[in-house]
Amino acid sequence: MSAKTGQRYALGVDDFTEGVARGDRATLARAITLIESSKAEHQALARELLQRLLPDTGKAVRVGITGVPGVGKSTLIEQLGTNLTAAGHKVAVLAVDPSSERTGGSILGDKTRMPRLAQDDNAFIRPSPSSGTLGGVTKTTRETMALCEAAGFDVILIETVGVGQSETAVAGMVDFFLVLMLPGAGDELQGIKKGVIEIADMIAVTKSDGDNEARAQLAASEYRAALQILTPVSPNWSPPVITVSAHKNTGIDELWAKIEENRDKLTGSGEREARRQDQAVRWMHEMLEARLREQLRSDKTVRARMAALEKSVRSGRTAPALAVEEIIALMGPGRAE
């Protein structure tokens, strides 16, 4: 089956399935581009592809990594990824770029920020613009993660934008959520979102080398104290705080050992499987909501009436609740129930 869906997607679902399953990087890259497409025919093909590959997904360790700009996410990911491939792992990095507000384009070059890992045959880096998606992840991050797992990558690292958006988005799709923090002068906890620390599975203080080493150790002590007064996400895991230096490659092996320890503990308790099941259901609901929003935007009758309703709501003549009822009614008989 090799139905033509356009010059760029001249592969049928059989071709995509076979190529991804044998780990062909070119086919994997094209499959990810396919699922990112907004065209209806591409989306239909992507859904069938994901269904076929479903039995080959779920075997990787999924790690979300966040931190403010300048904390050294890319440097740490490159060193961690290099260590892992040297140990025999296959590592996929889904690096989500901030997007241009005007063009929606990606403004960072992840392959240039991770040059060693980009040339590693056992690593795959996929930069994608976040396009303003809340949580610093793209709307197709989960699908991309599934494709990489089906292609044989056993470690998936998701780098988020880390600009203060809802980091619960990435925490809700990974096994382990790593928060990177900078050492610095003054109160280390000042300005740090409590919510991010509450959902962290581990905190790593970066750039712990040279003159920064003492400050990093002090910061780590303060984060440990902060975590003691918070309720852990898991009853089976107390989030550790470590210091790392990607530049010196110190603390990186300990970081990975903690991730493996977490995996073993949560697998043994059954929590890891239960969490993944909940994530899959949440994914379904999020996709359903996205499809309904798209259907709303594409409805010609609704579009024709929407501008007038928005104007009426803005002026205070119509209550928002009443406008919503009219929009639902416009979508067709029985759709409001």
- The domain that holds 167 is classified in CATH as 3.40.50.300
Reading phi first (left if > 0) and then psi (alpha if -120 to 50, else beta), residue 316 is in left
Question: Does any domain span residue 274?
Answer: no
The residues, ordered by sequence, that sit 6+ positions from 282 with a Cβ below 8 Å of its Cβ are 172
* 328 burial type by CB count under 10 A (0-12 exposed, 13-18 middle, 19+ buried): middle
pLDDT at 309 over 90: yes
- DSSP label at 23? T
Query: Is there a single domain that holds both residue 91 and residue 224?
Result: yes
Query: Is there a single domain that holds both residue 250 and residue 102?
Result: yes
Question: Does any domain span residue 68?
Answer: yes
Q: What span, in angstroms and rounded, lies between the C-alpha atoms of 215 and 205?
A: 10
Query: Is there a single domain that holds both residue 82 and residue 210?
Result: yes
Section 304-328 average pLDDT: 93
pLDDT at 330 over 90: no
Q: What span, in angstroms and rounded, lies between the C-alpha atoms of 130 and 101?
A: 10
Section 309-319 average pLDDT: 95
Question: Does any domain span residue 193?
Answer: yes
Burial string for 113-124 (b: 16+ CB within 10 Å, else e) reads bbeebbebebbb
What integer pLDDT is reported at residue 1 of this predicted model?
A: 43
Give tens-digit pLDDT for 73-104: 999 999 999 999 999 999 999 986 554 333 34
Query: Is there a single domain that holds both residue 156 and residue 172?
Result: yes
Query: Is there a single domain that holds both residue 49 and residue 102?
Result: no
Q: What span, in angstroms and rounded, lies between the C-alpha atoms of 91 and 120?
A: 10
Highest mean pLDDT among 78-82, 130-134, 279-283: 78-82
What token pair was written down for 306? Answer: 């929407």
> How many C-beta atoms lie closer than 10 Å to residue 162's C-beta?
22
Q: What span, in angstroms and rounded, lies between the C-alpha atoms of 109 and 276?
A: 31
What integer pLDDT is reported at residue 328 of this predicted model?
A: 87
* H helix or E strand, kind and range, residue 321: helix 320-330
DSSP string spanning 128-166?
A: EE-TT-TTSS-TTHHHHHHHHHHTT--EEEEE---SSS-
Query: Is there a single domain that holds both residue 256 and residue 120?
Result: yes
User: Which segment of 118-122, 128-132, 249-253 scores lowest on mean pLDDT?
Assistant: 128-132
What integer pLDDT is reported at residue 331 of this predicted model?
A: 79
Section 302-313 average pLDDT: 91
What token pair was written down for 199? Answer: 């959902």
What integer pLDDT is reported at residue 186 of this predicted model?
A: 42
Greater confidence (166 vs 215) lies with 215
Q: Are 129 and 97 in contact (CB under 8 A)?
A: yes
- DSSP label at 131? T
Greater confidence (196 vs 24) lies with 24
* Helices and strands of the chain, counted as H and E runs: 14, 7
Query: Is there a single domain that holds both residue 131 and residue 263?
Result: yes
What integer pLDDT is reported at residue 144 of this predicted model?
A: 93
Among 239, 269, 299, residue at a domain's last position: 269
For residue 1, give its domain range.
1-56
Average pLDDT along the chain: 84
Give tens-digit pLDDT for 36-47: 888 889 989 999
Q: Is the dihedral of CA 220, 264, 271, 64 positive or negative?
A: positive
Question: Does any domain span residue 335?
Answer: no
Lookup result for tokens 């990607």: 246
Q: What percent of the chain has pLDDT over 90?
A: 54
Question: Does any domain span residue 288?
Answer: yes
Give tens-digit pLDDT for 233-275: 889 999 999 999 999 999 999 999 999 999 999 999 999 999 9
What integer pLDDT is reported at residue 122 of this predicted model?
A: 96
Question: Does any domain span residue 275?
Answer: no
